[in-house]
A and B are shown apart, each in its own frame.
Chain A
Amino acid sequence: MRDVAFGQYYPSNSVLHKADPRTKLIAGIVYIVAVFLCDSYWSYLACFSFLLIACLVSKVPLKSILKSIKAVLFVVLITVIINVFCYKTGTVLWSWWILTVTDGGLIFASKMAMRLIFLVVSTSLITFTTTPVTLTDGLESLLTPLKWIKFPVHDVAIIMSIALRFIPSFTEEIDKIMMAQKARGACFDNGNIFKRAKALLPVLIPLFVSAFRRADELAMAMDARCYNATDKRTKMKRLKFAWRDLFLALATAVFLALIIMLKCGFFGLL
């Protein structure tokens, strides 16, 4: 079995792990909004400190968090390069052919890089501390108001949780099919990118066929277990809002207020 990024949950019993997924999702959204409100260095420092505290509280090892940054490092680098060369206000520091670097460009690029890194770390912190199933539950609960406009919230949640549940089954299936095709002389590792893509076709077709067969059987099994029997579906595990959620919500609110005050120049800084 290859190692599949099945969420990236890091089991622990920290306050963040135990917090309600809805609180975490909302806090995450608020944080992202706050990051985009930032302009001064002080507000970036505030964002950084808030994130650092959250990371420390979550007990997720710093190494795993850095790994999640590594995954997007390429995107960050490209953004930095583009911004450095395209942002043309401020004093010119260096110039060659059509490329010019200004101090304004450097500052802007570094801010963009920080933003991206904050975004990635904050969202991965949510997936580090929440199992995919709990996350789905949280989303379902948050989307409940959409039921008013006849949006099938529960069906969407079920689709998401089934998708998560079938990821390991399908990776296993791909391995099996690839082995079967290799045994019959298929070659997946040679040739240019087009040849390789073409070689994957005999893997994808059986995979799709089996996916449809599975879907058919699963639909029957769900039907046999009375799916859609009643509109008043209940849930065994109800999400509970606890004191830690209140604390988390308050901390996020204070943080947002701080960022807004910094933006409006309440402290007379910058």
Chain B
Amino acid sequence: MGQASTAETYLMIENVWKAFGDFYALKDISLEVNRGEFVCFLGPSGCGKTTLLRAIAGLDIQTRGSVHQDGKDISALPPSERDFGIVFQSYALFPNLTVAKNIAFGLENSGIAKSDIDKRVAELLELVGLPEQAEKYPAQLSGGQQQRIALARAIAMSPGLLLLDEPLSALDAKVRVHLRHEVKDLQRKLGVTTIMVTHDQEEALAMADRIVVMNHGVIEQVGTPTDVYREPVSLFVADFIGETNQLACVADNKGKGVSIGARKLKSAPHTHADGRDVTAVIRPEDIIPHGDGARSPGAPDKISEPGNTVETTVDEMEFLGSFWRTRLSSAELGDGQIVADFSINAVRRMDIEVGGRMRIEIPSDRLKVFAAGAEPDT
């Protein structure tokens, strides 16, 4: 991952606005995508991610702002004069044409010899792993197979840019996960610059080189999956990607901590003046469990930040296969519950059980502080 740092810019989006009547679906979007990069537009429905994709494709051209592809200003060009392949959630396969004819649709009528077309179609079918299906009609294929054909068709003409509009959303969960890897592999093999729109954060995290998190027509954050997951720049991003605990607090300690009631906690550095209402965010898996001391005497249970530990009661435990989701409450932190994910190992070792008491540690560098009030709406 993160391979894009030295690559050249392939797609440059500058100050793009898109109006539908009085409503602005995109507000001053600027973004650069590097050659060969796999970028995901991620956000809740209505955030403008599809609008942005359609603007890049020329399907719904932006109201203002420019788009450059490979150094060329394509801001006003119609789709047919741009260089991209596209895959839609609906696959949009031509139902009356066979798989081979679907893939060949763009190749025919472009001066390529028929034998070459046949060769290319076979090659593409091979590439998407469906070499036997050439003469079938789309309706005879499963959803996953159809989507692979759509992909093959989109890359048939070796476009410079591959656009994927929620390509996996219509598939069932298992196929979806499987196809993620296939699509990603294919993209890597071809080296084609790819933009995928999705509302599924897992999909984005798994596939993207970089994720563009959008909300209300603006870009909230651009970064690698680990960046946006671990270092969200806004409460929205933190909330939208992954699970979070959100604690209503007051800024404290000159940008290095928060307080909840009388309780003070150290936090990652922030810019909020003391006394301001803020929201502190911690992910469940970042919470470190400690035994109550009595039950695990010999355990190497070193507390690294003693000031950031909290006494809690275990209210509920849910076994999710690879870990335990645990709901804790603590008088110190007000009425709210805290969700923490503990490894099976830790639960067994520390004998954590419902009704028991336990101490948790909130690592200060994982406790992110954002301005309060901006209610995230997921």
Do A and B make up one complex? no
Interface, chain B (partner A; CB < 8 A): none
| Chain A positions near chain B (C-beta within 8 angstroms) | none
